[in-house]
Amino acid sequence: MSTPNLWVLVGLSLAGIVLMAKKLKKTVKVDFGAFVERFQLLPPPQPPPPKAPHPLTGLSFAVSDQFDINGFVTGFGNPDWERTHEAASLTSPVVSALVDGGATCVGKTVVDEMSFGISGENRNYGTPTNPVAPARIPGGSCSGAAVAVAAKLVDFSLGVDTVGGVRQPAGHCGIFGFRPSYGAVSHLGTIPISTSFDTVGWFAMDPSVLHRVGQVLLQGSFAVHRNPRNVIIADDCFQLSKIPIYRLTQAVIRSTETLFGKQVLKHENLGDYIASRVPSLKAFVSNKSNGDVKFSSLRSLANIMQLLRRHEFSHNHFEWISSVKPALDPLISAQVQERLKLTDKDIENFIAVKNELRSALNALLKDDGVLVIPTVSSPPPKLGAKELSSEDYLMTEFSLTALASISGCCQVVIPLGSYENYPVSVSLMAKHGGDRFLLDTLQTMHASLMHKLADEVGRSKVSNDVSKEAAAEIAKEKGNAAFKAKNWPKAIGFYTDAIKLNSNTATYFNNRAAAYLELHSFIQAEADCTKAIDLDKKNVKAYLRRGTAREMLGYYKEAIKDFRYALVLEPTNKRAKESADRLTKMFPVEEFS
């Protein structure tokens, strides 16, 4: 072998080593960090004709790590719990019903530590990456289950909603979520949090899948499909939201008017209504309410929900916490390390509020009404944000989730696209026991809702997500999420979508080039970097990536120039200096003159 050829091979080998070293330094979450354990529970064979196929045939699902699966330890989001408990000997009846219904269970997903948080962050198993807002929380406690659906890793997933464990992550991840009426779905085979509130719920990207799962899990015979005769907007609840009210309500209002008529629409000050219909609540209303009844009523419900959850969680797990002394997250530890001193009278008052609130909402909604409220009070906060531990943030969130948790009514989360690049949603509630009616209403309204949403967004001049530029940014963020998950082809697809929407942004070409480099598509990477440099002459990353692509293609002179130019733009860039020096030693520029 001639000396020049040998040097070429050495150069290519060194370049490959450099690229591999860079890859190893990257901390990329596989599957968006949604899963803690992978396995398969396969459905039974299809029945022979003329019998109908299983209702969930072809669908895959995951379950939060709060559900028992025969042969697996239910981890409960805490390694000390996992270490001190045996593998389950039975599978949760709900999981078995879904598998028997034709769906394939593919694994367990991350939950907040002991399923007690609402952010979705877990320091032990890692925080799942929100696919639609990677720098933001996914929401908890069933963060992994929501992320698995939002990332299209499964068709649907199961979670346990106690104080918002399904509804909040559904809202933050931009997917459908359903909390059925309390007691409508068995929660046997799940680790209890608060037995007064625990409800098995599910996530899906498609409302028809949400409905199909409901057909399997909801007990009792199906009623005749009915359209709602009352669609009630809870005006004061929307005042709690940081998202503009028009952005949340207009599509619902227009869809309702089109499908059912204007006479169906009503507006309600829910705080006032609750204050007048739930007399036992007066014992909990803050003396500092200054007459603001609607605020204090909703906030008092939130306070009651928190107290009762802590009380029942302690009843279920205090002995284990006392004996094992697990290393808990400080925010959780502060709430569960000590027993609440509640009297029998306190518990009686709590139960009275629950019963009165259910009766009040059932009377408001009757058999054919739905209540419209925000799902969450704000866009998903940043990961690790201080506001996540603030009393004001928690109480505002719980003021919304307490309505269904305390009353036991059913609630469905409906994604409504994005606002300022963050997911937004609205929720519909129906009376306790109105689960099928609520899912039917979603089926009826969904197409019209999406159509009206597009119209409203198109008419709005102040909404950022109406522009192609904003849509391109959303595609870019999805590309970034796919890139972090090492799904290079999917990332390229999203970056291509961003470029189609806005071809004047260097970042989109530059990011696509990075994905092409991972696939060793060096010609395409070089072309994208060149385009990025045309758009932004000072784009250091574009010069570095084009230099790498050209080096791998054997264009050493051009590669050296790119690395040196990057060094001119950023004199302290170690990668540029090391790459330029290495190639110059191996291939002196004079050789190319």
Confidence at residue 285, expressed as pLDDT on a 0 to 100 scale: 63
C-alpha span between 49 and 262 (Å, rounded): 47
Q: Where do the domains of the chain lie?
A: 35-284+302-382+394-460, 504-586
Q: In what order do the strands lie in the sheet with 422-430?
A: 35-41, 104-109, 60-64, 156-161, 199-204, 176-179, 410-419, 422-430, 369-374, 230-234, 265-268
Residue type, 502: N
Confidence at residue 403, expressed as pLDDT on a 0 to 100 scale: 98
Q: Which two tokens stand for residue 335?
A: 């709430």
Residue recorded with tokens 């046997």: 188
Confidence at residue 222, expressed as pLDDT on a 0 to 100 scale: 62
Profile the chain (593 residues) by mean pLDDT over runs of 10 residues.
42 41 44 96 92 93 98 97 98 98 98 95 95 96 98 97 98 98 96 97 97 90 83 94 90 95 95 95 62 67 95 93 91 80 91 97 97 97 92 95 98 94 96 96 94 74 54 86 89 88 92 94 93 93 95 91 92 91 78 46
Residue type, 28: V
Confidence at residue 172, expressed as pLDDT on a 0 to 100 scale: 98
Nearest partner of 514 among 497, 501, 532, 500, judged by Cα: 532
CATH class of 504-586: mainly alpha
Q: How many CA atoms lie within 13 A of 571 on its CB side?
A: 0
CB-CB neighbours of 443 under 10 Å: 14
Confidence at residue 585, expressed as pLDDT on a 0 to 100 scale: 86
C-alpha span between 385 and 300 (Å, rounded): 25
Confidence at residue 22, expressed as pLDDT on a 0 to 100 scale: 39
Query: CA–CA distance from 29 to each of 37, 137, 564 (Å)?
Result: 14, 15, 33
Q: Which two tokens stand for residue 559?
A: 């590669």
Q: Which two tokens stand for residue 431?
A: 């009376």
Residue recorded with tokens 């890793």: 153
Radius of gyration of the chain (CA): 27
CATH fold label, 35-284+302-382+394-460: Amidase signature (AS) enzymes (3.90.1300)
pTM for the complete prediction? 0.74
Confidence at residue 97, expressed as pLDDT on a 0 to 100 scale: 98
C-alpha span between 279 and 275 (Å, rounded): 7
Residue 282 CA, distance from chain mean position: 36
